[in-house]
Amino acid sequence: MIFNSNIFILFFSAFALIYWLVRRNQRCRDWLILGSSFIFYGTWDWRFLGLLVVTGGIDFVCAYKIGISHNPTYKKRWLMLSILSNMGTLGFFKYSGFFLESAFHILEIVGIQSTRPVFAVILPAGISFYTFQALAYTIDVYRGHIKSETNPVKYFAFLTFFPQLVAGPIERASVLLPQFRQQRFINDSMILRGVWFILWGFFLKVVIADYFAPLVDMVFNVKHLGGSVNILATLAFGGQIYGDFAGYSLIAIGLANTLGFELSANFSYPYLSSNIQDFWRRWHQTLSTWFRDYLYIPLGGDRFGSFRTFFNICLTFILAGLWHGANWTFIFWGLCHGLALGCYRIWRTSKISASIRIPKIVGWGMTMWVVGIGWLFFRATSVSHAWDMVRAVAKDQPPSWSNDYALAVSFGLLAVWFYDVFNKHFHWERVCAWPWSLRVVVKSILLVFIVARWGKEPPSFIYFQF
């Protein structure tokens, strides 16, 4: 069940009606959210509901034991059990095939021939997201940042909250879990804000991302095309993945708002960033802060000199790339951003940067160049495929139909640029000050575009594969 489908519209309509009737009864509300979240997740593959319950149950017990224990050794053991459970499950389902394939490939390189076994593992939907959310909960309890939850219904409602279960935002327990412990009051402002975010989210996904999708596939699924077309396709993919993922996040936030819940922001006009560090403060913010707080800082952060800082940044982004998928292309994508961010940090802390000011437009251009190189590797089917596209860019032999293609891509990129500018200058607080009639007109225009692009067989969201 995906947001941009008719079945989800029916599902959420029925859920919202029942939710409105029981909203003042916390126990009924929690059971309704939990049951509906199980139904929502079970439509992907009901067999993985058991996996979600078992791994989540282990974290619930571990956090509870950590919370009531006064022995640091016992606390650490329960924490290690939670980490091993989460990472072991994630590693098996997501990376076992990748590492096995890589091992056989290395053996072939050194001249050892062996028969490769047939090994295929189905990837559970959203496993990367809910695993990180559950793991952060246990770690925060261990660190004493939050108290462990003693009510399993509230805990599982927090862990499986369906608006953000499959593709985030990756919520901290300190942000979302207390909202299940309190009475939620839904006012007109929250509903209006939720509807606004839902419309913008559907606009980004249905109108922008799905517009780019065939343009991207046209090039990335065909080899040996011209360099100019490869550049345009990479730019188009940058627009597609932004509209796709930011659209999902906005829909999730909007749905939660209509239920009286607040979710964390995940995107903040990233394509207006003037440096790579600023980009990662604006792109997939909940994942960026997760890796910062639970990996980069525990590795030492920037506390042990420039070389160690550079190493920590690169390692963090390599693992962030691997988090996205079991493919060397994602590792190269992470390494690309890690090297860029490490170099930027060295530059920013150097003495020469104080005397040389880089214009923002130049910084923006350099940032988008790095981001574009990263997107090429992110979307390519293999590292060799990515390098073939890079070599084609160097030769620059565009096919005859590139002019029409350029016009189509440019039109979409203009829509993305307009959205980021609009999002920066007309955020919700300013929109609230608009006359009622203007808000109705804008929402009606968005709705017309969405309905016009709505399909019977809607494409899924890109991040569902992670």
Q: How many residues does the chain have?
A: 466
Residues near 249 by beta carbon (within 8 Å), at least 6 away in sequence: 167, 168, 169, 201, 265, 266, 267
CA distance 346 to 389: 30
Tokens for 152? 């399993």
CA distance 281 to 263: 17
Please answer whether residues 249 and 282 qualify as being in contact, where contact means their C-beta atoms are separated by less than 8 angstroms. no
Half-sphere exposure of 448 toward its Cβ, with a 13 Å CA cutoff? 6
CA distance 388 to 380: 10
The question of whether 337 is a catalytic residue gets the answer no
Please answer whether residues 463 and 245 qualify as being in contact, where contact means their C-beta atoms are separated by less than 8 angstroms. yes
CA distance 195 to 450: 14
Query: At residue 291, what is the residue type?
Result: F
CA distance 327 to 108: 18
In this structure, what are the phi and psi dihedrals at residue 460, rounded to the nearest 5 degrees? -75, 175
Give the residue among 130, 126, 151, 124 at the shortest CA–CA distance from 63. Answer: 151
Tokens for 116? 């490769």
| Tokens 């279960």, located at residue | 165
Tokens for 100? 């096995």
Residues near 454 by beta carbon (within 8 Å), at least 6 away in sequence: 4, 206
CA distances (Å), 86 to each of 28, 37, 131, 287, 345, in order?
A: 29, 20, 6, 17, 32
Q: Pick the catalytic residue: 324, 337, 425, 427?
A: 324
CA distance 54 to 403: 54
Q: Return the C-alpha torsion angle 372, 209, 161, 265, nearest 10.
A: 50
Start-end of H helices in 148-258: 152-159, 173-181, 188-202, 210-220, 227-258
Active site residue ranges: 324
